[in-house]
Chain A
Amino acid sequence: MSDPLLQVRDLVVEFPTRRGTLTAVDKVSFDIAPGEVLGVVGESGAGKSLTGTAIINLLEPPGRIGGGEVILQGERIDNLPQEEMRKIRGKRIGMVFQDPLTSLNPLYTIGEQLTETIQTHMKLTDAAARIRAIELLSEVGIPAPESRIDAYPHQFSGGMRQRVVIALALAANPVLVLADEPTTALDVSVQAQIIALLKKTCAEHGAAVMLITHDMGVIAETADRVAVMYAGRIVEIGPVREVIKNAKHPYTDGLMASIPSLTHEAERLAQIEGSMPRLTAIPDGCAFHPRCPQAFDRCRRERPELLDADTTQAACWLYAKEEAVT
Chain B
Amino acid sequence: MSQATAAATMGVNETPTSDPLIKIEGLTRYFDVSKPLLNRVIERVPRQLLRAVHDVNFSIHAGETFALVGESGCGKSTVARMVAGLIAPSAGSVSFEGVDRAAARSAAEERKIRRRFQMIFQDPFASLNPRWRVDRIISEPIRAFGLAQDKQEIDHQVGELLKVVKLDPADGAKFPHEFSGGQRQRIAIARALSNKPEFIICDEPTSALDVSVQAQILNLMRDLQDEFGLTYLFISHNLAVVRHMATRIGVMYLGKLVEDAPSRELFKDPRHPYTRMLLDAVPDIDMSGRARTPVKGEVPNPINPPSGCTFHPRCPFAFDRCRKEEPALLPVSENHFASCHAVAEGRIESLGAGVQE
Question: What is the interface of chain A, defined by CB distance below 8 A to chain B?
Answer: 43-44, 157-160, 187-193, 195-196, 214-218, 220-221, 241, 244-245, 254-255, 258-263, 265-266, 268-273, 275-276
A187 to B73, CA, bound (A): 10
Contacting pair A269 B219 (CB below 8 A): yes
Residues 227-247 of chain B, each 1 if its beta carbon lies under 8 Å from chain A, else 0: 000000000011111011000
Chain A residue nearest to B286 in the complex (CB): A263
Interface residues of B in 172-218 (CB under 8 A from A): 180-183, 210-216, 218
Given the known interface contacts A187-B71, A196-B294, A258-B215, the answer about A265 and B243 at a Cβ–Cβ threshold of 8 Å is: yes
Chain A residue nearest to B216 in the complex (CB): A271
Question: What is the interface of chain B, defined by CB distance below 8 A to chain A?
Answer: 71-72, 180-183, 210-216, 218-219, 222, 237-241, 243-244, 264, 267, 277-288, 294-296, 298-299, 356-357
12 A-B pairs besides A43-B213, A220-B286, A271-B215 with CB distance below 8 A are A188-B237, A189-B278, A191-B281, A220-B284, A258-B211, A258-B212, A259-B215, A259-B285, A265-B264, A269-B215, A270-B215, A272-B215
In whole Å, how far is B191's beta carbon from the nearest beta carbon of chain A?
Answer: 20
Name A188's contact: one of B71, B210, B214 (CB within 8 Å).
Answer: B71
In whole Å, how far is B300's beta carbon from the nearest beta carbon of chain A?
Answer: 9
Contacting pair A217 B285 (CB below 8 A): yes
Given the known interface contacts A220-B287, A255-B212, A262-B282, the answer about A159 and B298 at a Cβ–Cβ threshold of 8 Å is: yes
Contacting pair B288 A263 (CB below 8 A): yes
In whole Å, how far is B285's beta carbon from the nearest beta carbon of chain A?
Answer: 4
A195 to B292, CA, bound (A): 14
Contacting pair A262 B240 (CB below 8 A): yes
Contacting pair A43 B287 (CB below 8 A): no
A260 to B286, CA, bound (A): 11
Name A254's contact: one of B183, B212, B219 (CB within 8 Å).
Answer: B212
Contacting pair B219 A271 (CB below 8 A): yes
Given the known interface contacts A159-B298, A189-B277, the answer about A215 and B283 at a Cβ–Cβ threshold of 8 Å is: yes
Given the known interface contacts A270-B215, A271-B216, the answer about A260 and B240 at a Cβ–Cβ threshold of 8 Å is: yes
In the assembled complex, which residues on chain B have CB atoms less than 8 Å from the CB atom of A272?
Answer: 212, 215-216
Chain A residue nearest to B297 in the complex (CB): A189
In whole Å, how far is A252's beta carbon from the nearest beta carbon of chain B?
Answer: 11
Name B283's contact: one of A217, A261, A269, A271 (CB within 8 Å).
Answer: A217
Chain B residue nearest to A218 in the complex (CB): B283
Contacting pair A189 B240 (CB below 8 A): no
24 contacts between A and B (CB under 8 A): A43-B210, A158-B298, A188-B278, A189-B277, A192-B280, A193-B296, A196-B294, A214-B210, A217-B285, A218-B283, A241-B287, A245-B287, A258-B211, A260-B218, A261-B243, A263-B267, A263-B288, A265-B264, A266-B244, A271-B212, A271-B215, A272-B216, A275-B183, A275-B212
Contacting pair B71 A189 (CB below 8 A): yes
In whole Å, how far is A239's beta carbon from the nearest beta carbon of chain B?
Answer: 11
